[in-house]
Amino acid sequence: MRRAANTNDLLRQIAVVELGGSSVNFVVRPWCKASDYWGVHFDIIENIKKRFDEEGISIPFPQRDVHLYEHKA
């Protein structure tokens, strides 16, 4: 993950933004140079996913069961 020279000067925001039906959604907004934005963005997502895997935290995906019934007239 890319890091700034002096992390004490960085503005960061990590907050719960929404309680979903089967999720808790966070917003993660680090401070970085505009030229580093996409690299930092993808690094953060990758590192969060890897840490979740290490901690045994799975990401729920919505599921829907469809049952088909034959109606005889």
Domain CATH code at residue 23: 3.30.70.100
Residue 46 lies in a domain: yes
- The residue segments making up the domain with residue 28 are 7-54
Specify the pLDDT at position 51.
Answer: 94
Q: Is residue 34 part of a domain?
A: yes
Instruction: For residue 19, list its beta bridge partners.
Output: 24
Query: Does the model's pTM come out above 0.95?
Result: no
Overall domain count for the chain = 1
Dump pLDDT digits (tens) for 32-68: 899 999 999 999 999 999 999 999 998 877 788 999 9
Q: Sign of the CA dihedral 31, 35, 36, 37?
A: positive
Domain assignment of residue 60, yes or no: no
Q: Is residue 26 part of a domain?
A: yes
Residue 2's pLDDT is what?
47
User: What are phi and psi for residue 29, nearest 5 degrees?
Assistant: -130, 95
Query: How far is C-alpha 51 from the geometric centre of its chain's CA atoms?
Result: 11
Helix (H) or strand (E) holding 50: helix 37-54
- The three-point CA angle 65-71-73 to 5° equals 170
Residue 11 confidence (pLDDT): 58
